[in-house]
């Protein structure tokens, strides 16, 4: 055990080391943040919300120009309209959320101790529809992304505040997400951390790898590659495919757990979604 630990630490693998001793989420969060603070000493904490543009001056001005006429603006308008349009039973989405659904994204995802499940924002949107006799929407793009974009927009500036309750099932979900993040997978044998932690700021071919800290602040995101908005789980699928791993389904327990861990790691960062990316 001791030998394993020293081996892992000499290799700079802070996290597998902490995994062997079952660190608490709070401990993980502290180490995660200080890793990125050391790796990018010139980037102030809140700047990480800007993703790759926090560490790449060259592409930043281009991005700032895009954000002046945001390609997601129309989606926010569409989302607002959908959000405010009553269901057939006369109720609206507002009836399903705290504060009428305005400015609440920072609380998602959360662990529902009653059901033993993680609740994501998209999950709550579709649960609201089903509860009111409507069909659920597709998970990755389209209307659900528009509604989530509007809800994200009303939450801009609020700090991510994901909680891990003292509940064994919540801890298990958190650990599952952490495991997904650090485990090597796919034919190419790479973990999320390989690209977005240990090599954040390096180039893979011509692409600069963004730090995982701040990954989730601006979702759903408009990607030029997609020519539309997409949800976080759509992105997960894309990054899984890159390493030739068959992606999980959007809103599967696996991706919900990943989102839980991944978002918890960005606690304290201000939301700035929806965002625009390459």
Partner 1 sequence: MRKFPSILKTASSALAIAGSLALFPVTGTAAEAQAASVTEQGKALAFDRKKGNCLACHQIEGGKLAGNIGPPLLAMKARFPDKAKLRAQIWDATKANPNTIMPPFGRHKILSESEIDKIVEFIYTL
- Catalytic residue set: 239
Minimum distance between the CB of residue 110 and partner 1, rounded to whole angstroms? 33
Using the contact rule CB under 8 A, the part of the chain among 130-138, 173-181, 194-202, 219-227 near partner 1 is 194-202
| CA distance from start to end of the chain | 44
Q: How are beta strands 110-112 and 228-230 bridged, if at all?
A: unpaired
Among the listed residues 2, 3, 88, 205, the single contact to partner 1 using CB under 8 A? 205
Residues 6+ apart with CB under 8 A from 142: none
Give the residue with the Cβ less far from partner 1, 142 or 201. 201
Using the contact rule CB under 8 A, the part of the chain among 24-32, 40-48, 135-143, 200-208 near partner 1 is 200-208
Name which of ligand HEC, partner 1, none residue 215 binds, using a CB cut-off of 5 to 8 Å depending on partner kind.
ligand HEC
Name which of partner 1, ligand HEC, none residue 130 binds, using a CB cut-off of 5 to 8 Å depending on partner kind.
none
Residues 6+ apart with CB under 8 A from 5: 17, 20, 21
Cα 130 from Cα 150, distance rounded (Å): 20
Among the listed residues 128, 190, 229, 269, the single contact to partner 1 using CB under 8 A? 190
Rg (CA), the chain: 19
Name residue 190's beta-bridge partners: 185
Cα 50 from Cα 215, distance rounded (Å): 8
Residues found near ligand HEC in the complex (CB under 6 A)? 51-52, 190, 192, 194-196, 204, 207, 209-210, 215, 221, 235-236, 239-240, 242-243, 258, 262, 277
Minimum distance between the CB of residue 197 and ligand HEC, rounded to whole angstroms? 10
Minimum distance between the CB of residue 181 and ligand HEC, rounded to whole angstroms? 6
Name residue 113's beta-bridge partners: none
List the beta strands (DSSP E) in 31-187: 110-112, 117-119
**Number of residues binding to partner 1, judged by CB under 8 A:** 17
Cα 182 from Cα 192, distance rounded (Å): 6
Q: Which residues bind partner 1 (CB under 8 A)?
A: 11, 13, 16, 187-190, 194-195, 198-199, 202-207
């Amino acid at each position: 055990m001791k030998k394993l630990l020293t081996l892992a630490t000499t290799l700079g693998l802070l996290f597998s080391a902490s995994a062997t001793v079952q660190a608490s989420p709070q401990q993980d969060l502290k180490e995660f943040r200080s890793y990125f603070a050391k790796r990018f000493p010139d980037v102030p904490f809140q700047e990480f919300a800007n993703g790759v543009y926090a560490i790449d001056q060259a592409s930043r001005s281009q991005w700032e120009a895009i954000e002046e006429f945001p390609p997601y603006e129309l989606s926010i308008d569409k989302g607002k309209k959908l959000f405010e349009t009553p269901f057939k039973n006369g109720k609206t989405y507002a009836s399903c959320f705290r504060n009428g659904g305005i400015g609440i994204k920072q609380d998602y995802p959360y662990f529902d101790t009653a059901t033993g499940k993680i609740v994501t924002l998209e999950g709550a949107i579709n649960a609201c529809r089903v509860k009111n006799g409507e069909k659920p929407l597709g998970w990755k793009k389209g209307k659900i992304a528009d509604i989530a974009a509007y809800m994200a927009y009303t939450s801009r500036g609020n700090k991510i505040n994901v909680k891990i309750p003292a509940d064994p099932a919540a801890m298990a979900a958190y650990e599952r997400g952490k495991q997904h993040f650090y485990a090597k997978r796919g034919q190419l044998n790479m973990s999320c951390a390989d690209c977005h932690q240990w090599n954040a700021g390096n180039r893979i071919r011509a692409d600069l790898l963004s730090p995982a800290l701040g990954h989730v602040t601006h979702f759903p995101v408009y990607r030029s590659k997609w020519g539309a908005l997409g949800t976080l789980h759509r992105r997960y699928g894309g990054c899984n495919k890159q390493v030739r791993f068959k992606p999980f389904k959007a809103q599967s327990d696996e991706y919900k757990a990943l989102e839980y861990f991944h978002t918890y790691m960005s606690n304290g960062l201000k939301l700035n979604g929806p965002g625009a990316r390459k």
